[in-house]
Chains A and B, each alone.
Chain A
Amino acid sequence: MNLDSKIPSGHISEKWTNHQFESKLVNPANRRKFSVIVVGTGLAGASASASLAELGYNVKTLCIHDSPRRAHSIAAQGGINAAKNYQNDGDSVYRLFYDTIKGGDFRAREANVHRLAENSVKIIDHCVALGVPFAREYGGLLANRSFGGAQVSRTFYARGQTGQQLLLGAYSAMMRQVDAKKVELLNFREMLDLVLVDGKARGVICRNVLTGEIESHAADAVILATGGYGNVFYLSTNAKWSNATAIWRAHKRGAAFGNPCFTQIHPTCIPVSGDYQSKLTLMSESLRNDGRVWVPKNGTDARSPDLIPEDERDYYLERIYPSFGNLAPRDIASRAAKFVCDEGRGVGNTKLAVYLDFAAAIKRDGRPVIEGKYGNLFQMYEKITGENPYKVPMRIYPAVHYTMGGLWVDYNLQSTIPGLHVLGEANFSDHGANRLGASALMQGLSDGYFVIPTTLANYLGSTKLDKVDVSHQAFKDARAGVEQGISRMMNIKGGKTADELHRKLGKLMWDNCGMARNEQSLNKLLEEIPKLRDEFWNDLRIPGDAATLNQELERAGRVADFIELGELMARDALERRESCGGHFRTEFQTQDNEAQRDDEKFCHVAAWEYQGEGKAAKRNTEALNFEYVKLATRSYK
């Protein structure tokens, strides 16, 4: 498999500029002759649809919801990073680049990350122009706050609803193009296969979820922006409909899957309350600006938190990581919470929680200030738990939140299938083994607004594309395959619901491939998953008819793919015999329990190649070269 990253030559600060100049262009009159399919309408998909349509391409955009604005980017809370240095605290493009490389534990490409940091600045400008109501200072200028893994204040925000406001900006830009008839919006569509003609991505097969109709759509290129696969774990902060089906089916058509085991466990989520739990809710990392994380020094201390005196509390993040304190990066803060709970010092009924305490901040700044910063988050916490966080410390616990892994892409964001580009969380590209807070929004918008317009033109301008329409045999075959898959699931007529099987998968994944993994747990997982797959294909039950709205059918198709992807994640985690970022192998840790990388053997991307039904995927590697940032042990102490 050819894993040419196509990193441009030149100094790191000039690579993207050079590449933009060297890339092929498509002249404005010719753009209207090209068509592009965009799957997904989160930050990456909506911004790509808008910017490509603005340039004059004919865009067809698919979304699974009634409205594109429901995509899960909407739920991002805390903020978006940008190297504006408005705070005069020493920030720069290079520092954002450096922080992101280090935060990712040296497992991302330098060139991609530098481009991301460069684009961060333009994203803020464009979003302001679109009318995104960012938080402002009294003088009318933009406000910032701090996020984990950085010692500068570079995070722009719109209360605790930054993702919502950025998505509405991208959505409004896309809807303007819908009105201009440059974007054809196909809502209620779920992509179920990718169609290749002569080895190039030329279209998709999708199901209209309202009517059950299977449709074929052809184009000159396909863009996937379908988000991450955290729902493999069943319980995660992802929305219930977030799924891996589009990327997984593209993988089965030949797109390599990069670093599938790199999963981010977010340290501040509301703990599980019962077996019926359907999802986990994040409490923004921004809360760690003012909240202090602690557990009782003594695990048997069952007093209510306000009765535990200061000297009997262990503010363990401040103790272990004095220079970053409560703003230690996510992987580190999550692992620390797991350690104190494993020591038996967790709080609450399940003992699987730690306190996030605002008493000191409220005393220092007054309740109105805290309410102004986090009001909606406190309200959300109270609605879910029935407790008032202004009076009682929040209880939080880590939960699956983001997947750094995804389809492998080169510098142009093109997968190993020519013509298939992958943007946002769906690709593996910029966050290495751990993503820093407020960087996901940045990446989605950088890819969609500023990268793909250049790199797609380069592809279209340099590739010979024959006329292809949906009458081509490849579409007929793919469509028949999708129809067979659906009728196969409908006809199992067993006794288990898709959710029941999904919960089982989630528990297996969390227990064996979650916050800590080792050879034994991963081997066990690799034994269990095939059994679960058999159970799925022999005992699934989907009532009703496939030719109508059938939410059980939709769910089942996604669970089938999650099971296969879960197996690949286990295999990837097993083969990566080191710890890095969110991938923590218990066999590879330092004396003080930090992740121990092995740069000799594993300073590379693992890109998995599908080998066919029932066969183990093949592991290929792309070496990572660090020319600018020195490989070092990541320390936040």
Chain B
Amino acid sequence: MAGNNNSRTMRINLKVWRQQNEKVQGNLVDYTLDSVSPDMSFLEMFDVLNEQLVKKGEEPVAFAHDCREGICGSCAMVIDGEPHGPQTGTTTCQLHMRSFSDGDTIVVEPFRAKAFPVVKDLVTNRTALDRIQAAGGYVTVSTGNAPDGNAIPISKEIADLAMDAAACIQCGACVAACRNGSAMLFVSAKVSQLALLPQGQAERDRRVSRMVWQMDEEDFGSCTNMGSCAAACPKEIKVENIARINREYAHAMLFGRVSERVSDE
């Protein structure tokens, strides 16, 4: 209960990945924090650690974060081997220390994947995901020429399924969890959202092929249907989306007039 556990604090041992930049070797460094409140978020614990490091004149641990509400997709830590830690359906920022016990040792590493080079400590560069979005994750409609919002009825069931897929926050946990470093769950979520909706039909073949090809251009691995991506997803994006993208891709290859590779020129 918030505000009611302040009297009980915990001692937490951390093993944190420190790496100065992409080019040098990194290693795990030990830190101990003595009075961690169970009501703290995991990132607030890192704030406390960093405050101590700065005071000692040491460099704080670099980590990505922003909204701290589980929606921006910035935060990305592998905690005891699991992207975003032990709690299902939870981003790192929404994980609270009440999920751990006094005296625990916690290992914290960056999201590791060939396509996500380490920038510093726990920060990686995930811009490959944006390039996949740019390749086809949209409906081609310019501002100003839309029909009335109610001109296209969409059944509640379909709208809900599209919304389930659209909940992806592009954090990359699916990639970090995958032994192949595949971005298939991420790509399938966007493809599914737009493939389900009538607005996305006109360019469904072009979309799926361009996004899949762009994924291949980046350093992502192939999908072997292990499902660890969906287990790690903080937004619980379902593995069914991967079945849907496979159907979409097959459709594009069989029926689509897709002669283009990644570039349209």
Contacts and interface: CB of A to CB of B under 8 A. Distances in A.
Contact of B149 (A67, A128, A395, A450): A128
A179 B135 contact: yes
A279 B125 CA distance: 25
A126 B94 contact: no
5 contacts: A75-B71, A122-B146, A172-B137, A348-B3, A495-B55
A6 to B, nearest CB: 23
A548 B120 contact: yes
Q: How large is the interface on B (under 10, 10 to 19, 20 to 34, 35 or more residues)?
A: 35 or more
B133 A387 contact: no
| Pairs A-B, 8 closest by C-beta atoms | A140-B153, A129-B146, A172-B138, A385-B2, A125-B146, A133-B163, A175-B134, A273-B2
Interface string A50-66: 11001000000000011
B68 A543 contact: no
B58 interface: yes
Contacts of B60: 543, 551-552
A274 interface: yes
A119 to B, nearest CB: 11
A128 B59 CA distance: 47
A271 interface: yes
A453 interface: yes
Given A541-B54, A548-B21, A349 B3 contact: yes
Nearest to B143: A51
B197 interface: yes
B140 A176 contact: yes
Given A271-B3, A497-B51, A172 B155 contact: no
B54 A68 contact: no
B188 to A, nearest CB: 16
A239 B120 contact: no
A126 B152 CA distance: 12
B43 A138 contact: no
A99 to B, nearest CB: 21
Nearest to A160: B71
B3 A54 contact: no
A352 to B, nearest CB: 9
Interface string A122-166: 101111111101111111111000000000000010110100110
A478 interface: no
A362 interface: no
B127 interface: yes
Interface stretch (B34-42, B100-108, B173-181, B217-225): B34-42
In this complex, which of A139, A165, A541, A544 has the most chain B Cβ atoms within 10 angstroms of its Cβ?
Answer: A544
A377 to B, nearest CB: 11
Contacts of A187: 127, 130
A75 B200 contact: no
Contacts of B87: 383
Interface string A29-54: 00000000000000000010011001
A276 B44 contact: yes
Contacts of A499: 47, 51
A66 B66 contact: no
Interface string A434-452: 0000000000000001100
A514 B150 CA distance: 42
Contacts of A348: 2-3
B4 interface: yes
Given A134-B159, A175-B137, A129 B193 contact: no
Contacts of B20: 548
A495 B125 CA distance: 31
B250 interface: no
Nearest to B262: A179
A207 to B, nearest CB: 15
Given A70-B67, A543-B53, A552-B54, 18 more contacts: A67-B126, A75-B67, A75-B69, A75-B72, A128-B146, A138-B156, A175-B133, A178-B134, A187-B127, A274-B3, A278-B43, A282-B69, A384-B2, A385-B1, A395-B2, A450-B144, A543-B54, A552-B60
Interface in B94-137: 94, 96, 98, 119-120, 123, 125-127, 129-130, 133-135, 137
Contacts of A165: 163, 166
Contacts of A127: 149
Interface in A334-392: 348-350, 379-380, 383-387
A125 B134 contact: no
Contacts of B65: 240
A270 B156 CA distance: 31
Contact of A549 (B62, B66, B135): B62
A127 B147 CA distance: 11
A599 interface: no
Contacts of B66: 65, 70, 72, 239-241
A288 interface: no
B227 to A, nearest CB: 22
A126 B55 CA distance: 51
Given A240-B68, A543-B59, A69 B197 contact: no
B70 interface: yes
A163 to B, nearest CB: 8
A210 to B, nearest CB: 6
Given A124-B149, A129-B141, A497-B51, A67 B134 contact: no
A122 B141 CA distance: 14
B159 A453 contact: no
B149 A72 contact: no
A497 B73 contact: no
Interface in B1-57: 1-4, 6, 20-21, 37, 39-41, 43-44, 47-48, 50-51, 53-55, 57
B143 A549 contact: no
A573 B130 CA distance: 43
B246 interface: no
A176 B138 contact: yes
Given A131-B139, A543-B58, A72 B4 contact: no
B162 A142 contact: no
B154 A349 contact: no
Given A131-B194, A138-B156, A239-B68, A453 B1 contact: no
Contacts of B147: 125, 129
Contacts of B140: 176
A281 interface: yes
Contacts of B153: 136, 139-141
A173 interface: yes
A279 B68 CA distance: 8
Contact of B96 (A136, A172, A383): A383
Interface string A96-139: 00000000000000000000000000101111111101111111
Contacts of B146: 122, 125-126, 128-129
A500 interface: yes
B93 to A, nearest CB: 9
A633 interface: no
A179 B166 CA distance: 21
Given A172-B137, A273-B2, A387-B2, A278 B41 contact: yes
A141 B150 contact: yes
B260 interface: no
Nearest to B166: A133
Contacts of A69: 73, 130, 170
Contacts of A281: 68-69
B252 interface: no
Given A50-B143, A75-B69, A67 B40 contact: no
Nearest to A178: B134
A214 interface: no
A529 B248 CA distance: 60
B66 to A, nearest CB: 4
B143 A54 contact: yes
